[in-house]
Amino acid sequence: QVQLVESGGGSVQPGESLRLSCVVSGLLLAPVPVGWFRQAPGKGREAVSCVDNGDGDKYYIDSVKGRFTISRDNPQNTFYLQMNSLKPEDAGVYYCATVVLVRDPDTMEPRSCYGIDYWGKGAPVTVSL
């Protein structure tokens, strides 16, 4: 049985940091692209960041570029989202998932990603004074 379990969510003030972790069990992480998604109250789920297998190519939504960093530790079957300089608009429930990266056909750079097959149950993040 494959499980993805998030941890590290919480309540912080604007400008502070959080690191989300996603522990994967029942599935070897190394060959699998993975990513993070978030859903704010009253809004749809959006892809925040994804990484190809082998800690290769990465995708970030524009609003988090320069502030968030995705990484993976394949031997630990765990991947992470380091979130710095958090803003109120970053608040929501964060989900980890296995993903497919969508690449630009000319440059082959990741331009988006979407979740497929396996999802965690979510970790809430609140950013407020």
102: its two tokens:
């969508």
92's torsion region: left (phi>0), alpha (psi -120 to 50) or beta?
A: left
Please, what are the averages of pLDDT over each run of 10 residues along the chain (129 residues)? Answer: 97 98 96 97 96 87 98 95 98 98 94 96 96
Residue 54 is predicted with a pLDDT of 66
The predicted pLDDT at position 61 comes to 98
| Partner residues linked to 6 by β-bridges | 22
pLDDT at position 56: 81
Beta strand 3-7 with 58-60 is: unpaired
C-alpha dist (Å) from residue 118 to 16, 20, 26: 30, 17, 11
**Amino acid 55: pLDDT:** 57
pLDDT of residue 31: 93
